[in-house]
Amino acid sequence: MLESLYLVYAIFGFFSLGAISSLFTRGKKQHVYFAYIPAAIGSFLAIVLSLIVFTSEDIHITLGYQQIFDFEIFIDGVASFFILIIGLVSFAVSIYSLSYSKKFDDKKNNSNLGMLFNLFIISMMLVITSNNVFFFLIFWELMSLTSFFLVIYEHENENNLKSGLTYLVMTHLGTAFILTSFLFMYAQSGSFSFDSFRDIGIIPDYVRDIAFILAFIGFGTKAGIVPLHIWLPKAYASAPSNVSALMSAASLNIAIYGIVRYLFDFNSIDDSSHYLWWGLAIIVIGSISALVGVLYALVERDIKRILAYSSIENVGIIFIGLGLSVVFASFNLTSLSVLAFVASMFHTLNHAIFKGLLFMTAGSIHYSTHTKNIEDLGGLIKKMPWTGLMFLIGTIAIIGLPPLNGFISEWLTLQSLLSVFQIPSTILQVSIAFASLVLALTMGLAAATFVRLFGISFLSKSRTLKAADAIEVPRFMLAGKAILASSCIVLGILHFIGINLIVTAFNLPYTPLSPFEPLSIIGEDGKSFASLMMPTVLIILFSVFVSIFVLVKIMGGKTSIKKYNTWDCGFGSLSERTQYTATSLAEPLSRIFAIFYKPKNEIIRYFYSEQNQYLKKSINVKFSTRNIFEEFYDLLISISLSVLNKIRKIQTGKVNVYILYIVIALLSLLLAAGSGIIG
């Protein structure tokens, strides 16, 4: 308890040290070390702290200092699990930033980046550890504020400023919802401490429902659920890449933390049917987010926007898991509820890891090619092989193919969806079957998205000079990515680590796995419903490979390999212009899901002379897709603004009218009082 408390102080100290020292080494050449090495140490200590908390008891201390609000720190398994995620990601990102932030060295205010970076991480950790509405909100907003400043870090570009503004406003809207929900709870419990929320006792159901809806909307805004996701692609795309890695891999999880805390800590989900619709709502929202997110990721051309939309998709998958767990719990199917919960938490962990990895890779690409548009890239795997390998690992992980970690969590999610037939309600089963259909479609489209991303940007010929003379990034950036890539592999093959971690963190009623027993689910008839044993799969794959290799050598004997041009139908060597582009690659799918994009394909012909329409000078083909959600938001905003505009017109500038207002106010109040409306 005590030494872990010192650890807490140490973590705080290191991040503040990083913030301050990076501020005071402004303009120096080595300022990156002053900024990011403390951050790395602090994140590492955070990992250690969370592991300690897993094994020993929770940390719960109250620092009262003669004020209205006491500062309470409470670190239980739930908190430490998320601290672990944040620590892991920020550790990798800090190391990555040692080289990456040199990108901004020509800007003199570079050290602000380091300071805000440290503040951002520590505010995230403080949000998780604080156990009091007031301080929770303070750190929550501090997190939003620092991340906002990081988003508009390159604020000379008016565009970044705009997207940052959208981010700030949306996240503040979310905060307003969270605040309202907490205050509803407070009105019942009469104290600002979360402890009072925990043992709030019997409160009317409608209060629970209202508070839940508000909290879900609030945290969902931060998590980027559809249709509140509008800010997310803009913000992630505008921020520097190490920051977008942090935002997507760390601060997004805080929203999930909030919802988990809310569902399973402030409310004890029991088998009362009124939690059922919570679960269903979460599932529905999750499915929609997953599908919409991946659909828009599919047609994007900006790497970071693609990754941002895929974050929305993964949040959707996580929410499907959470919702299922709530539904199962509300039918008192404990083991299934545990399964679904483990699935969603595992996916949270995995998403943090591979999304951090992918964003860092995107940063590397931007670092060495100075473009984020995948149409300009190509052939990078020969220019920057290590980055390419990491990106491939991230890709395989995120589309959930064996043998990496993404497969495990999606396997678990699918299994919990398949177990739906144990629910004693037909309507529910069928609807959840639809949800699983959506999920499967999402996975397929995600695969398409990332195949496109990897194939277009890393394979085939370089499409522009930017890509042609790219070089491999410095070693710190590689190291940062390598950490996450390796943990992708480890969690994929030794899945028992992740599962045991979650089981102990949330102390679920489930016996931890031993390394050599299969991850198996037993149906209610006692037969093995499903089982998985990744290490053996690896062994099989490897032995098959070896034997095939030998076989081919024996049968094939000695043969030579000679390099030559790609077959060009005899037209002379192919140019990079004849390759498939990202747009054309996704075109068939964009035609199938046309309602989301309203794709437009316009062909403009230029003739040598208007009289003769046969000789064409050139033909321009323009293929464009639209985003229906942004159009919806534009409509909404324009309506509400027109209302506001009418209200403010009362400031007419005529003094007579102003006096008239006073008289009207007086008389109406007198009338109201006289007729007893008020008082």
Which residues make Cβ contacts (< 8 Å) with residue 138, sequence separation at least 6?
130
Q: Does 64 bind another protein (CB under 8 A)?
A: no
Smallest distance, Å, CB 611 to another protein?
35
Among 511, 612, 645, 675, binds another protein (CB under 8 A): 645
- 636 is a contact residue toward another protein (CB under 8 A): no
Contact call for residue 37 and another protein (CB under 8 A): no
Give residues 537-566 in contact with another protein (rule: CB under 8 A): 537, 540-541, 544-545, 548-549, 552, 555-557, 559-566
| Residue 152 touching another protein (CB under 8 A) | yes
Burial degree of 627 (CB within 10 A; 0-12, 13-18, 19+): middle
Q: Is 402 in the site for another protein (CB under 8 A)?
A: yes
Nearer CB in complex with another protein: 58/195: 195
Contact yes or no for 315/223 (Cβ under 8 A): yes
Residue type, 586: A
**Is residue 617 close enough to count as binding another protein by CB under 8 A?**
no
- Which CB contacts under 8 angstroms, 24+ apart, belong to 505-509? 505/54, 505/77, 505/78, 505/80, 505/81, 505/84, 505/345, 506/77, 506/78, 506/81, 506/264, 506/341, 506/345, 507/77, 508/338, 508/341, 508/342, 509/334, 509/335, 509/338
Q: Does residue 206 touch another protein according to CB under 8 A? A: no
CB 96 within 8 A of CB 242: yes
What part of residues 303-322 is at the interface with another protein (CB under 8 A)?
none
Name which of residues 217 to 236 contact another protein (CB under 8 A): none
Contact segment (CB under 8 A) with another protein among 95-103, 326-334, 505-513, 519-527 equals 519-527
Q: Which of residues 354-383 bind another protein (CB under 8 A)?
A: 379, 381-382
Q: Which tokens sit at 290? A: 């997953």
Contact flag: residue 530 with another protein (CB under 8 A): yes
443 binds another protein (CB under 8 A): yes
Considering only 44, 51, 70, 180, the residue that binds another protein (CB under 8 A) is 180
Q: Whole-number minimum distance, CB 222 to another protein, in Å? A: 15
Q: Is 212 near another protein (CB under 8 A)?
A: no
When binding is defined by CB under 8 A, the residue of 396, 453, 482, 505 that contacts another protein is 396
Biggest CA pair distance of the chain: 107
For another protein, the closer of residues 184 and 194 by Cβ is 184
Q: Which of residues 455-474 bind another protein (CB under 8 A)?
A: 455-456, 459-461
CB of 644 to another protein, least distance (A): 4
Q: Does 61 engage in binding with another protein (CB under 8 A)?
A: no
Q: Does 270 bind another protein (CB under 8 A)?
A: no
Inter-helix orientation angle 2-24/110-129, to 10°? 160
Distance of CA 149 to the CA centre of its chain: 19
Compute the least distance from the CB of residue 165 to another protein, in Å.
6
Query: How many angstroms separate the CA atoms of 139 and 117, rounded?
Result: 15
Q: According to CB under 8 A, which one of 196, 464, 579, 627 is a site residue for another protein?
A: 579
Smallest distance from another protein to CB 194, Å = 15
User: Under rule CB under 8 A, how many of the chain's residues touch another protein?
Assistant: 146
- Dist CA 378 CA 534 (whole Å): 34
Q: How far is it, in rounded angstroms, from Cα 472 to Cα 73?
A: 44
Q: Which helix (H) or strand (E) holds 673?
A: helix 655-674
- Residue identified by tokens 């321009």 is 620
Taking CB under 8 A as the rule, does residue 444 contact another protein?
A: yes
At closest approach, how far in Å is the CB of 307 from another protein? 18
* Binding residues for another protein restricted to 581-600, rule: CB under 8 A: 584-589, 591-592
x/- string (CB under 8 A) for another protein, residues 489-518? -----------------------------x
Q: How many CB atoms lie within 10 A of CB 670?
A: 10
Q: Residue 73 phi/psi, 5° resolution?
A: -110, 130
Q: Is residue 55 involved in binding another protein (CB under 8 A)?
A: no
Helix (H, G, I), strand (E, B) or coil at 74: strand
What is the DSSP code string of 280-322?
A: HHHHHHHHHHHHHHHHHHHH--BHHHHHHHHHHHHHHHHHHHH
- 504/499 Cα distance (integer angstroms): 9
Closest CB to another protein among 325 and 415?
415
Q: Cβ 331 to another protein, closest distance in Å?
A: 15
Our CB check for another protein shows the closer of 218 and 224 to be 218
Q: Does 601 engage in binding with another protein (CB under 8 A)? A: no
Question: How far, in whole angstroms, is CA 442 from its chain's centroid?
Answer: 16
Angle between helices 334-369 and 475-493 (to 10 degrees): 160
CA distance 64 to 67: 7
**Identified binder of another protein from the candidate list 429, 507, 601, 624, rule CB under 8 A:** 429
Name the phi and psi angles at 401, rounded to 5: -100, 145
Which one, 611 or 675, has the nearer CB to another protein?
A: 675
Chain positions 86 to 145 lying near another protein, rule: CB under 8 A, are 134-135, 137-138, 141-142, 145
Residue among 25 and 431 whose Cβ is closer to another protein:
431
For the bound state, the minimum distance from the C-beta of residue 241 to another protein, rounded and expressed in Å, comes to 21
